[in-house]
Structures are given as structure tokens and as C-alpha cells.
Structure 1
Amino acid sequence: MLNKSVYIIIILILLPNFVVSQDGKKPNIIVIFCDDLGFADLSSYGSIWNETPEIDKMATEGLRFTNFYAGAPVCTPSRAALMTGCYARRVDMDLDAKNRWVLFPVAKKGINPKEITLPEVLKEEGYSTAIIGKWHLGDQPEFLPTKHGFDYWFGLPYSNDMEVLKREDPPLPLMRNEKVVQQSNKLKVFDQTTLTKRYTEEAVQWIDSNKEKPFFLYLAHTMPHNPVAARPEFYKKTTNPKKGFGAAVAEISWSTGEILSYLKKENLDKNTLVIFTSDNGGNPNWGASNGILKGKKGQTSEGGIRVPCIAWWPGKIEPGTTCTTPASVIDFYSTFSSLANIKLEDATKRDGKDISQYFFNPHLEVEPRPFFYWHVGYLEAIRYGDWKINLMGDFSKKAKENIAKSTYSEVSSLGQVELYDLNNDPGERFNIADAHPEIVQKLISMADKERAALGQWNDKGPEVRTTIYKKNPKPLLKQP
């Protein structure tokens, strides 16, 4: 007779197929991706300023992660991680052509056309696919989302502040598929106060037109990235000293409620997994809060890369649950493929893993795995279990100069190797490297292996899949 533990193992192995096969339908998948939302910017994650009732209800009806990581501490590499299931370093999206930390308008590089993206995998299996919102993985024709698995796109090609006169940026373009449908005039940004509302309406309309077969919606909010914007009524829903930021967060909460309410009204909720998260940590200078976590956007301290994440799936995910096991946006590629019963057989090396079991058994004990904090061409830190090592203290003077230049001096290091126990010290206050030399050495050995595979800075390792570079990129402009 099989013992209890064997039965549990069998159930976990079969669980993704069970989820798909109950009614014969592949699950719908929605990823709501905020821009610069901090770890503590939601009431359900401790905010005392921002009213987020719709998102908080989502958390009480679903699963809340407390150790969830963005793919990077800034926009472009984090989104590359979502689309590819890889650290941005592996797919050559951790630096732009000038070694800056994100892509800028009229970029010479973008996501590799040969890369098999998450929407491409899902589309091949019959999914309708759409991105509503910000892309930021290249603004040349071969890099746009409609060339990388998305049937439909409405949104911005990069950040909403990328219209800088001295940098000669083109006017900020709003896109529908591959055409500019609205653009700033004489370097005055078009009205962004209705952008969240427009994204929400587009998302609901697109779902309504594509609900007869499985769909994947990537709702990539522009907000609360600076310059923040929201409709006037949402300024009444925050006590944040930075009123605009709090209003933008409140409107994102409203938007999330609209999406979930629509799914319930159309009886789509029980076959739809909805993920809510952020592309990186917040910047307190703009009104964000990362709570007790050290650091901010642009840094590999926890406040720069640990983000809120909520998973919602009525009837599948137990309401009001919490998962403390570390997980990351790099895991969504394998996880969504598994839930859709898709076998990945392309032999492409990816860094993420299938975490679907966390949704249904959040207290499951799993073997620790390393999480690598890649940023601007350097492996800056590693987490393994509850241990985190900050490696920057041992970096050369030249490496530190490179990092400072690429990140506008957003460098976080004590000038020596730092070791933290994140379970007891999530705020990274107490460096205990001297007390645990064996742990330090173990993590440094992991770092050496990772660097040998992926290199650093402009020295790309043998496992880096180098993307293409355009010699003469053109700006996105509205045709007369």
C-alpha cells in the first residue's frame, strides 16, 4: 500500500493537468503589471497611505506572496524576464547599446526576434494574446510586441517620462498595434490622467471579444511611474504626502476591481488565473514605500526588487492564503506553460521554474534554489534560502564606476561583502558575514559559476543569447 507521502507526491505531479482537465478548457491568464509600485504600497502589504480596497479584496480571495521578486530593479530587464523566463543578462537585455540600465527612445537594440516569448508559446497552443500598456523591450519594428506573439497592442512603447528635449527624444507615442494613434505636441505630453481608465476599458473590451477561447492578457500599467497621473476623483482616496502617486495607486486598484468584476459577471472567473505584481520596487522620492525593506528602485537591496504579488483564481486557489517561499517573475513562463498543459521541448535554457504548486499548496516545503540579482551587467547579489549575499563590496573600482554610471549612482554597498539572514532581518540591517564564513564561501562559489556562464559588463559569457542591433533606428511618429 502507498504511504501518505507518496500520495501527496503523485497529487502534486498531476495537479497542473488536473487543473486543465476538469472541464477540458485551458485556463485564461491575466498578468496585471504595475510600474514602480513598491512592496508596501498596497493596504494588504502594510500601506497606511494608499486606499486599495479592490486589490485587498483580491488578496483575501486569493494568495499573497511575501518573498516575490521582480526580474530586475528597473523596467526593461524586468519585462524581459517576464517575456522569456530568463534573467535579462541571459537574453542580452540588461543594458542598452550605450550601457544604460533601460532602453530609451529610438533604441538600437531590443528583444531578440529569435527568442521564443511567453505569448508565442501560448499562442501556438490556441491562446488569443494581447498587451494593454507599456512594452519597453524595443521600439523598432522587429522589436514591437505584435512581432513577439501578441495579437493586439494598445499602449506606450517605453516609459511615460521618456520625452526629454536635451536627449532629443521624439514626442511620446501612444500605439495601437504598430501605428501611433496619439502623440505629444510640441514636447507637451498628451493628457495621461485618463490613461489607466483607457487601458482598463481596452482590456475589458478585448476580453469580451476573445472570451470564447483561452486568452492571455498582459495589462502593463504605465502608473504609478513618474510623472504620475490619475483622474481627479482618486485624489480623494489617499493620504499619501505625494498625492499624485497615491491617486495613481488608487486608480490601479479601481482598474483591478473592474477586471475581476467583469470576469465574475461573465462567469469567466473560475477558469481565469489573475496575477497582480510590479516590475520593480518603488522610489520613495516619488511617493512609493517599500516598508521595512532597504533600498529602492534601481538597487539590488530588497526594496529595489522584492515586490507585492497576488494570485487569484476562484475555486482553485484557497482564499486568504500566504506563500512565504521565494518566487519570481522569471517563473511565470514555465508556470503558465504547465497550467496550460504545454510541454516546453525547444531545449532553450531558462532560469525560471514551474511554481504552480505554490498556488494550490502554498505551505509546501521545497528545496532552496539560488536567486541571482543581475543588474546592469553585473551579478550584484544572491539569495539562497534565507541567506542573501551582497557581492559589490568585492567589486573592482572600475566595476563600481561602471555601475554608478549606468544606474545614475544608485549603488548600495557597505564596501565589503555583506551577508544577511532575510528571515530574521528582511531590512538588511545586520551584516553577519564574519559569523558565517562557510555560507559566504558557498554563495561566492555559486556566483563564480553564474559569472562563468553569463560573464559581466561587456564581456558576455558563453550562455548569453546576444540580440540584434539596428544601425539606423527610426523614431515612432504619427503619420499625417
Structure 2
Amino acid sequence: MKTLIISFFAAILLTAVSCSPKPEQKSATIDHTNFVVVFIDDMGYGDIGTQGATGWTTPNLDKMAAEGMRFTNFYAAQPVCSASRAGLMTGCYPNRIGFSGALFPNDQVGINPNETTIAEMLKEKGYATGIFGKWHLGRPTEFLPLQHGFDEYVGIPYSNDMWPLDDVGNPVPEGHGRLKNPDLPVLNGNDIMMTITDLKGQDTLTTLYTEKAVDFINRNADNPFFLYVPHSMSHVPLGVSDKFRGKSKQGLYGDVMMEIDWSVGQIEKALAANGIAENTVFIFTTDNGPWLNYGNHAGSAGGLREGKTTSWEGGQRVPFIIKWPAATPAGTICNKLGCAIDILPSFAKIAEAKLPELKIDGLDITDLWKGKTETEPRETILFYYGKNNLNGVRKDNWKLVLPHTWASYHTQPGENGYGGKRIRMKVEEPELYNMMRDPGEQYNVIEYHPEKVAELMKLVEEARAELGDLNVGIEKGAGNREIGRK
């Protein structure tokens, strides 16, 4: 199968877009490349129109895919909040730098100052840097964005359910763990500019981040910039502005997705109006798969197995769209492997920036972004989860799942904002899946391919030596580094 496919549908859609009236554009002399990353929380592989979403529409994302490139085998760094973001920001597998799971408001750890973020790397090249959204790499001041390369920050420091209320905005009973959390703070730089104390406050977040992002673009259009927009949505509790409430056929989750799509469109319009869209790398992706036990307040894994916090495909394979008119062929699909940890070294290549001094795991995949289908920069993916558990490895189209336990969604989900229960399940013996024929991981074919198992086990042993594996009692490998501590 060819890696790069120009679809008839995309061509038709692109033609329609090109015939639409265009906003008045500023003239700009571009001698640099800008970078925009929109990073969604808990959105599923199947939640975009081009990937099968039903019950709502995503015209701006569909347009972005028609004018850019969509990856079908792109992975988050890990299938949970803080770890995933740590991988994106540093180009490292999160367990290499001490991250696991999700940090909580009172945790006294965060991103180590010895690690280099995308923002720090690009600032060395003269880039303006801004983040508007959810950070989740440490709450104490020394771990916040301004101390890690960003010039501007407006957003919440952790997940929007880390407040003293339940997931539908009601008070929790006496003794509940959430009572240890403060009201949800919205920070401007290092300082609290307001707190969110009810669901109406949650409704404002997507619009707030979008307005700040557009303003940042307008103010920095004549200079190189890196804009990072990690939306709080579609994490529960769901919030949506009045302009999108009730607009989808699916309910609140669909409304939220339509507002996220609107946000993408607003950023696109700002880039075009300033005459800088051509030389801007615009990426849309997500931190992990859907939180399926929330039922109708969760998205879809698009037929992949399980969801968030699992090492199955539904937990870690995520949507990825890149639009870079100066270099990326329009209306294309890439089936090669990619991972969020590859974004930092790819940006470094484009900006001619210096890579971090400490070892990273990401690879330069800019050749794929440019449509060079003969290249294959990434052959393998490591599926680490928990404190430091290696749950699987993938090479090419083969995925070896190692013995481990997980919390499965194969039980009754919740409804209307309340989460359902999950059940503990266990892989007792290694399992092998062919990702080309069986992306849903339903048919274990390990007995037919002992040679593939042997090949993949070599990768497992190398990973265990380098990064450890608590599943077999190896707490650390030779390459693990410490998380930052207050």
C-alpha cells in the first residue's frame, strides 16, 4: 500500500475551499517558519469528521486535513495527561524523565529544569513563545511555563476536574479526596487571575484560550513564534459556550467538539489574515484516547481497542493533522509511524535549532511531513505506562503486547457526566497483533509468527536495559532521569 494517498474527496473539498471568498490579507515577508500546536485533552481517534465522527461536524478540521496531511499511525507519548505532555514538550519518553500518570494540585514535583522544552529550544533562535491552555507539568511556580521557555501563559495548571466539586459541578461529600483541591485557578503568567467555581466557568475556557491565541498571533505576526494551545476540553467536566451549546445531534460532547473545531478555524483565519499561513507549521493532535467510562460525555476510539490510560491502540493512537502549505502536499495521508516525541526534533530541524544536550527519544520526521514516502524515520514505538511499566512494543505493522494489568472499559459506562466503573483485566502471556489487518487488536496471532516475537523481544530487552520495566522488576534502566522536585 502506498504511504501517501491523494484522495478524490480531499481534492474536491480543497477545490471548494479555494473558490471561497478569502479574508483580506496583510502582506508579509517571511524568512522563517512559525509553529502552532493545538493539543486536545481526551479526544478519541474517531472524533474528527474525516475519521468517522457522527453526531457533529468538524468543517475546519476536515478542511485542514484536505489542505494538509493526516497521519493514521500517530501515537501520544503515553495514554495519560501529564506523562503525555511531558513527552510532547521534551521529545523524551515520559518515563525517561520521571513522569508517570497525572500530577495533582498539591504535588511538589514537575518538569526538571535540566530538561529542554520546545519553547526553550526555539527561544534560543529568537522565537516568541506562548501557551494558552492546560499545562499539567507541575503546579509549584518553578515548574510553570514561564520558567520553562514560554514568554506568555494564560490557562489552568492541571486538569479541569481537579477542583473541590464532582464531575457535574456538585459539592462532594465530607472526607472526599477532592476537598483537598483548591478552586480551579486560571493563571496569567505565574499569578492567579481568576478562579473557576462552577460549570459556567468551565464553559468559558475554550473561547478564552482561542481569543488569547489569536491575539498572540496578531501581535507576533512579523516575528518567528511558537504557539501552543493545549485545550482543557474534551476532558470532563465538559464545558461549552452558549454559541455552541445544543448545536450537535450527539449532545454536550458533540457541542464541545464543534467549539474545538471553531477554535481551529479562528487560528487558521488569524494566520491567513496576517499573511503567514504559508510558512506556518500548524499541528492538531491529542494527549491520549477517550475516557470511555464517561459514556455520552466521552468520545470514540474509532474502532480501536479500549481508551485513555491503557496501552491498547484506543489509549495511545491519536489523531494527527499537519498543515504546512510551504512544504506539506495537500490532501495526503501518511501511514508511517509517528509519535508526539518526534515533534521537538522535527521543529529543531525546520528552525535549524540546537537539539537538547541530554538524550531524547524523538526522531526527525520532517521528510514525512514533506511527502517523502520512501523514508521511514521511525520503525518502533514503546508502550510504557504507570510508574515505569513496559506494556508493549510496535515495529512496523507488528505489535507485541507484554503481560500487564489494566483497567478495562468493557463494562457499563456512566452517563451525563458521571463516570462508570472499570474492571481490572490482565494479559497473562505475550500477545502478537498485526496492525495492518487487525488495528482493533482482536486476534492474537503469536503462535503463527515466532520469528516476529523473537525480533520484537530484542527491542523489549533493549528498552528494559535503557529505561527499565517494573513489570519484570527492573525499576530503572541506564537512561532514566529524575523528575524535578521542589
TM-score by length of 2: 0.84
- Structure 2 distance, partners of 1:432, 1:157, is 43
In 2: Cα distance, 1:110 partner to 1:432 partner: 41
Call closer, same or farther: CA 1:93–1:443 in 2, change over 3 Å: same
Aligned to 1:442: 455
Corresponding position: 1:199 with 2:212: no
- Give the SS at the match of 1:336: helix
The answer on whether the counterparts of 2:239 and 2:256 sit within 8 Å (CA) in structure 1 is yes
| Cα-to-partner distance string for 1:103-141 (whole Å, 9 max, x where unaligned) | 011112111011111110000110000110000000001
Do 2:112 and 2:485's aligned partners in 1 also have CA atoms closer than 8 Å?
Answer: no
How does 1:161-176 map onto structure 2 within 5 Å? 161-164=161-164, 166-167=176-177, 168-176=180-188
- Is the 1:40–1:47 Cα contact (8 Å) retained in structure 2? yes
Change (3 A) 1:389 1:410: farther
1:361 deviates by 1.4
Change over 3 Å in CA distance of 1:430–1:29 after alignment to 2: same
Q: 2:67 aligns with which of 55, 61, 64?
A: 61
1:5 corresponds to: none
Secondary structure (helix, strand or coil) at the match of 2:96 reads coil
Which of these residues, 234, 253, 261, is aligned with residue 244 of structure 2? 234
For 2:284, the aligned partner's letter is F
Unaligned runs of 5+ in 1: 1-22, 95-100, 471-480
Q: Distance in 1 between matches of 2:484 and 2:76?
A: 25
Give the equivalent residue in structure 1 for 2:143.
143
Q: Deviations over 1:419-455 (max 9, x none)?
A: 0000111111110011111211221221111111112
Shift of the alpha carbon at 1:462? 2.2
Counterpart for residue 310 of structure 1: 321
Q: 1:261 aligns with which of 266, 269, 290?
A: 269
CA contact (8 A) 1:322 1:362 kept: no
Alignment partner, residue 189 of structure 2: 177
Q: Which amino acid aligns with 2:151?
A: D
CA offsets per residue over residues 72-95 of structure 1, 9 Å max, x none? 11110000001110100000012x
Alignment check: 8 A CA contact 1:70 1:279 kept? yes
| Partner Cα separation in structure 1 for residue 73 and residue 350 of structure 2 | 22
- In 2, are the aligned partners of 1:246 and 1:287 still within 8 Å (CA)? no
Three-state SS of the structure 1 residue aligned to 2:39 is strand
Which of 327, 348, 362 lines up with 1:352 in the alignment?
362
CA distance in 2, matches of 1:68, 1:363: 16
CA distance, structure 1, for counterparts of residue 90 and residue 192 of structure 2: 26
Match of 2:309 in 1: 298
Distance 1:317 1:402, change over 3 A: closer
Query: Out of 321, 326, 330, which is 1:319 matched to?
Result: 330
Distance change (3 Å), C-alpha of 1:30 and 1:119? same
Which 10-residue stretch deviates more, 300-309 or 438-447?
438-447
What SS does the corresponding residue of 1:294 show, helix, strand or coil? coil
Contact kept, 8 Å, 1:63 with 1:323, in 2: the verdict is yes
Of all paired residues, the percent bearing the same amino acid is 39
Secondary structure in 1 matching 2:243:
helix
Correspondences of 1:317-396 after superposition (within 5 Å): 317-344=328-355, 346-361=356-371, 363-366=373-376, 369-376=379-386, 377-392=388-403, 395=404
Unmatched segments (≥5 aa) in structure 2:
1-28, 165-171, 410-420
Q: Distance in 2 between matches of 1:261 and 1:201?
A: 12
Structure 1 CA distance for aligned equivalents of residues 354 and 377 of structure 2: 23
State the number of aligned residues: 428
Partner Cα distance (2:270, 2:30) in 1: 22
Deviations 1:124-161 (A, max 9, x none): 11000011000000000111111000000000000000
CA RMSD after TM alignment: 2.0
> In 1, Cα distance between the equivalents of 2:207 and 2:233?
11
Question: Partner residue of 2:159?
Answer: 159
Q: TM-score, normalised by structure 1?
A: 0.85
Give the whole-Å Cα distance in 1 for the aligned partners of 2:352 and 2:406: 46
Contact 2:218 2:270 in 1 (8 A): no
1:364 shift after superposition: 2.8
Distance 2:482 2:433 in 1: 34
Give the superposition deviation at 1:416: 2.1
Distance apart, 1:410 and its partner CA: 6.8
- Separation (CA, whole Å) in 2 of partners of 1:411 and 1:347: 41
Distance 1:251 1:402, change over 3 A: closer
* Alpha-carbon spacing, 1:147–1:205, altered in 2? closer, same or farther (3 Å): same
